[in-house]
Amino acid sequence: MKFGTKAIHAGVEPDPSTGAIMTPIYQTSTYVQRTLGDHQGYEYSRTHNPTRTALQQNLAALENGKHGICFSSGLGAIDAVIKLFNPGDEIISTNDLYGGTYRLFTKVFERFGIKFHFVPMGNTQAVVEKINANTKMIWVETPTNPMMNIIDLEAMGALAKKHGVLMTVDNTFASPFIQNPLDWGADIVMHSVTKYLGGHSDVVMGALVVNDDELAKKLTFIQNACGAVPGPQDCFLVLRGIKTLHLRMERHSQNGKTIAAYLKNHPKVKKVYWPGFEDHPNHSIAKKQMRDFGGMISFTLVGNRLEDAQTVMENFHLFSLAESLGGVESLCGHPASMTHASIPREEREKVGLLDSLIRLSVGVEDAEDLKNDLANALAKI
């Protein structure tokens, strides 16, 4: 099946008891057994739930994987991955990544003896220099949050295979419509399902997709043992959202291209970060591994004044100032004080995350209306 067909049909069957075309919300915690051990595949909803099963199968198909494993949040999914490792193990991560991931790595797992190296992963040699006998995983984000850096998945996959380490890719910014990391050598794909997969700003969830059966068993064990699972109502909402993922991502990408071009030519904008530009670092890699360039854009203002960024964001009418991304409505955010506030200022500025940096999640509204909203807000500074 092609992507749009998979989005609508993969993992989903009419309800056998009623013929309902939509997967029911199995709002139950437990399941009746005929006798000891004689059940229909479901015993307790922390372990399995039919609504969640359908979603996990759907997500696996979208990422060209075999196993989907859902969690109560994206960070819950990341937490499960790091629990694969032991004290003394080392993980190499990109140095430009979601602030919540950085916080989880440094404030939670470093206390238990796992060591993290943060490197500019756009340069493969920077990863090579950190690999040693204790290295167990390479953690990739591409495009990165919020600087939109592009990391070569094929090169990272080959490096991971050569050294016998796992490669995990946070694919949240791209979505499975734009990029499929398993096809480029990743072992685990992570999504904050909250974002593009849900697509309507009404659910919080995370997911992992893998091909390896043994790895799937380990992660499923952690999912059940630690219990960070989503409820059936949330799974239903994501299944519904995914049915229009291909349509939404096409519009997000079209609007993203329009808005990026507009900002690049605006006299009050200093720099625009969007991988679709030919002069964007690693643009050729983006063209190779991405089907489109998406609707995530970051930009800085001339003068790099925090007060100017605040003025712009306070004067938007269509771009709502809010955490998160990937919904049908356009959002703006200030990474330095919001999503990446947990990263020390000196570390933020090393990757270019300045005080005037504004991150846009371009929605599916009319592009002309979004341009006018930007024009009006930028005119206030």
Active site residues: 46, 98, 170, 195
Helix residue ranges, H only, the chain = 3-9, 50-62, 74-82, 99-103, 124-128, 153-163, 175-178, 213-226, 232-242, 245-264, 283-289, 306-314, 345-350, 367-378
Question: Within a 13 Å sphere around the CA of 117, how many CA atoms are in the beta-carbon half?
Answer: 20
The tokens describing 346, both together, are 């000196």
E-strand spans in 109-223? 115-119, 135-141, 166-170, 188-192, 206-210
Q: For every residue of 227-275, which 3-state class applies, written as one string?
A: CCCCCHHHHHHHHHHHCCHHHHHHHHHHHHHHHHHHHHCCCCEEEEECC
Q: Minimal CA–CA distance to 41: which of 161, 52, 311, 155? A: 52
Phi, psi of 191 (to 5 degrees): -130, 135
Quote the CA–CA distance of 230 and 227 in Å, as a whole number: 9
